[in-house]
Amino acid sequence: MSVNVLFAADDRLWHNYHEPLRTALAEAGVDAHLATDIPAAQVDYIVYSPGSEVQDFTPFTRCKAVLNLWAGVENVAHNPTLTQPLARMVDEGLTQGMVEWVAGHCLRHHLGLDTHILHQDGTWRHDPPPLAADRPVTILGLGALGRACGAALAEFGFPVTGWARSAHEVPGITCLHGPEGLKTALARAHILVLLLPHTPETESLLNAARLALLPRGAVVLNPGRGALIDDDALLAALDAGQVGHATLDTFRTEPLPPEHPFWTHPQVTVTPHIASETRPASAARVIAENVRRGEAGEALLHLVDRDRGY
């Protein structure tokens, strides 16, 4: 019997995803009817993005799982009508994109590329950077993205410290956890990378008190979630020189409003939420595998813990 898969996302995404999804489902051996207009009572799986018109999951009485297109699930995980299993997106394209963004901007700041690119004024500035071994990097968040970014940076020779709420062991990364571990991780961070999910516990995690723990002049990279940062505290730390530069890819309001001071601050770089874009081809394979698993009675991949919010 055919499986009914509802694509419940922005209409513009349907154009990009319907062919990769159909191909991936067929390759996974799933006989699937994929559409945007399946009656709720007949839906077996929902491919979902938070911008969807679907906000009440109650009518989807036979739905076996909601499969999120994005890594972030904070806009759906706590929906009281969602009683079905929820899986977030973890895929090779998203991970590789994040690794490239983080590695690129770490190297940019480590090598001082902005100085060379922006100040071609005939002045010979012979000021070589330290080697990577002398530039400690801290990553807050040791999920799939944090581990992958940490491994890549360690390959360049950066000493990498990773922090999470609970204990982890990751080869090549010094892993810390808990409140005291966070203080130590921040104190080591010449470059700080934020890759935590947005939960009530991580809201404004990087506030004035924690920014003060960083070595003076540290660089902050945020490709994680905009709400991890207290914007006013970061701007104050930049103005005071406590933070040397902030390169930010995610924001509390997106698109970032034109009047926001991040746009014009000389020590802030804004990138438009491009660090870990979901790629249709690779994301479709993840979704198809979860549908196959659901039909085979196997455990789904990347299930969200509703209590933790990710």
Is the sign of the CA dihedral 247, 249, 250, 251 positive or negative? positive
pLDDT for 278: 87
Parallel, antiparallel, or unpaired for β 45-48 and 65-68? parallel
Low-confidence ranges of the chain (pLDDT < 50): none
pLDDT of 119: 80
What the chain holds in terms of domains, given with CATH numbers, is 3-91+278-296 (3.40.50.720), 94-270 (3.40.50.720)
Q: Is 177 a catalytic residue?
A: no
Q: Which of the residues 22, 252, 265, 273 is marked catalytic?
A: 273
Residue tagged active-site, from 110, 225, 245, 302: 225
Cα(255)–Cα(236) distance, integer angstroms: 22
pLDDT at residue 123, rounded to an integer: 86
Give pTM, 2 decimals: 0.89
Q: For this structure, is 78 an active site residue?
A: no
DSSP string, 90-156: --HHHHHHHHHHHHHHHHHHHHTHHHHHH--SS-----PPPPGGGS-EEEE--SHHHHHHHHHHHHH
pLDDT of residue 114: 93
